[in-house]
Structure 1
């Protein structure tokens, strides 16, 4: 399969100058499928001098790829650890497509240096100057409605989340990823690149951080999560008490997903979650 087979009928809506040059050499490219997610098919585009990723949202999910493209442009220009965006458009079936740089393979290992690096990368996203986003119209959703929607059918969890969100004083002034974890980080030659911006929005960085800490704690272990948490505390102005409150919200989000749409559960996952719930002073007993 060549690049032309996939890209020849794409109606490009926005593309960079670099993309014009790349498409001009499309005949030299070879495309191979990569492991996709629940939302899209993903292909690696190999050319003589570069490698790209071509993503097609041809499943049920319909995120705003024009928004992702514009946000990626701004983040990349400011030196954030994200893929370089080249173009977005529509295929003949009106599925949205995105062309970006290829930035390695999913993160498979961790040590204090790596954990500190990926914590700093997320903080760089949160610290992106607000004026760089003013022309993009990045959405700012109601926190509870987005992460704990009523259609989720979990009124107890939503009630607890609403109370904790009120106590926390949720803000929506910073760019957040919305689902930051190792599966959305690529590694290549000691660099770590953040991918999958489906949930990008203006939100509260403390929740973004807390969710990523919780996912690391559940699936990688307490030793790693404590080093990771310490990195955020050392590199930001957030307090341990703040993070514990937002980790409680993250726990409620994990429980909601576990009860509804599903989230990975392995042999010891539930016992780990039970321990996390028991240790958090903001959460009542009996949630799991």
Structure 2
């Protein structure tokens, strides 16, 4: 078959691209697709790679991702090695990286602790470590809660929580750290999908990950994740409650827009969280407690 990467205009690349362009025996396998990108596994005789192709409606800064991955990989963080980025004949932006395994499907206590340490290592990366990388900084609500003003109950609950949180957008955050964005291969873990990498508040980044574990795995493993992360990162309990509330409101917004997976216990767990979180239970939140409606 035709070499699947030969029709890409590679803007930046390393020597691996040149070697792959010469190979006539490359094969491809489909992979799980995201909302805004097509993902293809490319196999050579020696190793495999992942080609991510963003459709034209999505406009990520792929050059930034390429350079960020380069720096993080060189520092020894658990990320895929970037191979190149460019533009295909459809003018879609593409990114080629190494293939580093499959998403985490089953967890145990040790694995959850290892994953918490992965996130902690990301958050402990200093701006000096990032060399000349200029991390973008966005308006928090506009970026993570697009369209929230159309849901006034959520918006009126979110704004005072964000004000109370006193955001500190001063560290590297992943922006969407969850199990589907963590690959494993022979007990080696790799964090993928850095589309949302930015200068942000690590308390929010951690809270978002923690909420997803509570919703989709269990309270028990969420507590393991929380304890392991907080061993290296001191976040007071009151601050954690605020950021968990903020993260929960994001999940509800995504749910209303059809962007969250559903399992038999999902809605029950969300409702229990709304009742038990000290910053949500006393608000007038009848409308979004009933998130099924």
Q: Which moved more, 1:137-146 or 1:274-283?
A: 137-146
Provide the rounded CA distance (Å) in 1 between the counterparts of 2:174 and 2:69. Answer: 11
- 1:40–1:59: 8 Å Cα contact kept in structure 2? no
Alignment correspondent of 2:37: 40
Alignment correspondent of 1:116: 113
- 1:81–1:193: 8 Å Cα contact kept in structure 2? yes
Residue 33 of structure 1: how far off its partner (Å)? 1.5
Please tell me whether residue 31 in structure 1 is matched to residue 28 in structure 2: yes
Provide the rounded CA distance (Å) in 2 between the counterparts of 1:233 and 1:135. Answer: 29
Residue 205 of structure 1: how far off its partner (Å)? 0.6
Residue 17 of structure 1: how far off its partner (Å)? 3.0
CA offsets per residue over residues 200-234 of structure 1, 9 Å max, x none?
11100110100001011101111111111111112
Provide the rounded CA distance (Å) in 2 between the counterparts of 1:261 and 1:91. Answer: 30
Alignment correspondent of 2:50: 53
The SS at the match of 2:89 is coil
Alignment correspondent of 1:20: 18
Provide runs of 4+ in structure 1 moved above 6 Å.
none
What are the ranges of 5 or more consecutive residues in structure 1 without an aligned counterpart?
A: none
Alignment correspondent of 1:268: 265
Q: Which moved more, 1:97-106 or 1:157-166?
A: 157-166
Please tell me whether residue 205 in structure 1 is matched to residue 202 in structure 2: yes
Provide the rounded CA distance (Å) in 1 between the counterparts of 2:97 and 2:72. Answer: 13
* CA-based RMSD: 1.7
Matches within 5 A, 1:118-137: 118-133=115-130, 135-137=132-134
Provide the aligned length of Structure 1 versus Structure 2: 285
Provide the rounded CA distance (Å) in 1 between the counterparts of 2:221 and 2:173. Answer: 22
Provide the rounded CA distance (Å) in 2 between the counterparts of 1:150 and 1:184. Answer: 24
Alignment correspondent of 1:238: 235
Residue 104 of structure 1: how far off its partner (Å)? 0.5
Please tell me whether residue 184 in structure 1 is matched to residue 212 in structure 2: no
Alignment correspondent of 2:82: 85
Provide the rounded CA distance (Å) in 1 between the counterparts of 2:240 and 2:20. Answer: 44
Provide the rounded CA distance (Å) in 2 between the counterparts of 1:158 and 1:231. Answer: 32
Alignment correspondent of 1:162: 159
Residue 35 of structure 1: how far off its partner (Å)? 1.8
Residue 266 of structure 1: how far off its partner (Å)? 2.4
The SS at the match of 1:89 is strand
The SS at the match of 2:251 is helix
Provide the rounded CA distance (Å) in 2 between the counterparts of 1:211 and 1:262. Answer: 15
The structure with the greater share of residues assigned to helix is 1
